[in-house]
Structure 1
Amino acid sequence: MKKGFPQVAGAIDGTHIKIFAPQKDAQDYFNRKWSFSVVLQALVDADGKFMNTFVGMPGSVHDARVFNLSALSKKLQEHTLFTPNNVVEIEGSAVPLLILGDAAYPLLPNLIRPFIGRGCLNRSERMFNYKHSATRMTVEKAFGRLKGRWRILLKENEHELDNIRPIVQTCCTLHNICEISNSFYNPSWNEGVELDSSTETVCRQPPTESAKTIRESLVMHLNTRQ
């Protein structure tokens, strides 16, 4: 990834795909923004291409639970997401290839989230959060360009729930083709595109000690290279 953050192979986030209220279990799909949706979880690379997608969880489900139910979570736990998974030593810690997520995601040895609590963070932690955010912005940009190009994802989708997943995944594949071929993207297509990850609540899953150690090593590394 870019912005000088070491060992980062991708950034993860979730976004809502609007739907009409389904006939069954409609309340499960009613999200925090007072609309009905399913969740698209995506892992993107430094160029904003989708590396992994997981679509279809009800809109009321927290990003952390969506992540824990996804195949991506299992691959991270088993260290099989990246092959080879090159490990480097950073400030005394063995750091594997990493993905970055916001505060909605758990802190794991290979999934790094920012520090929480703006008022009680020291200078080094604030600097870490700034560089973390600057690097992770690539996933929000990818969602914006995805919805800007394929505007079916902006309106309430009329398809049956079973058809939503292949429609969204097809749009993700087409997005990648456009990005790889450097297809024209008109900035005016951003009109009406609303990114919705910033209001997500914090994941309360306790971090592992190894995860905290790796993040502290990254803090030291980033603050010695300002």
Structure 2
Amino acid sequence: MDKLANAPSENYFDRKHRFSVIAQVVVDLDLPVLNVFVGYPRNCHDIRVIQLSSLSGHAEEGMLFRGPPVTLPGGVRRNGYILGDNGYPPSEWVVVPYGGINQHPGEERFDTKQKVARGAVERAFGR
């Protein structure tokens, strides 16, 4: 893989001086890859990467998820959402952990379960 033609090459090296690019990969809990976006330098923030990817556009157009909507607790209807880490902005389609210290026990439980579910990404890459 090569860097973008107009990008300074030093942006593509990590702190250990290895060539490094961001790969944003979305998998479902059964592990098939649903979306891949690759090529931006390691120093590009997750928020910027998701904004530049097709993922964001598809979500805003309502074309990201297939299948009928389901009703979640509290009466919220969704036809899908993505679990992200704290590097991503929370939105109607990206669910991130609460994070922080001195969490309410319910927030702590949510964060633990959300982190376990996000482990699907690591399993998809054999980590």
Question: TM-score range, shorter-chain basis?
Answer: 0.7 to 0.9
Residues 67 and 79 in structure 2, CA contact (< 8 A), matched pair in contact too: no
Q: Contact (CA 8 Å) 2:65, 2:79: kept in 1 or not?
A: no
**Matched pairs, number:** 125
Match of 1:52 among 35, 39, 63: 35
RMSD: 2.4
Quote the residue 2:124 is aligned against: 142
- Long gaps (5+) in structure 2: none
- For the 8 Å contact 2:97–2:114, the answer to whether it is kept is yes
Report what 2:115 is aligned to: 133
Q: Describe the shift of the 1:33–1:104 C-alpha distance in structure 2 as closer, same or farther (beyond 3 A).
A: farther
Matches within 5 A, 1:26-105: 26-31=9-14, 34-105=17-88
- Indicate how the Cα distance of structure 1 residues 95 and 40 shifts in structure 2: closer, same or farther if over 3 A, else same: same
1:25 and 2:23 aligned: no
State the SS of the aligned residue for 1:72: helix
Note closer, same or farther for the CA distance 1:98–1:128 as it changes in structure 2 (3 Å cut): same
Percent identical pairs in the alignment equals 36
* SS of equivalent residue, structure 2 residue 38: strand
The 3 A distance-change label for structure 1 pair 127 and 94 is same
Q: TM-score, normalised by structure 1?
A: 0.50
Return the TM-score normalized by structure 2.
0.85
* Greater C-alpha Rg: 1
Instruction: Classify the secondary structure of the residue corresponding to 1:73.
Output: helix
Cα distance, 1:68 vs. partner?
A: 0.9
Q: Which has the higher contact order (CA 8 A, sep 6+)?
A: 1
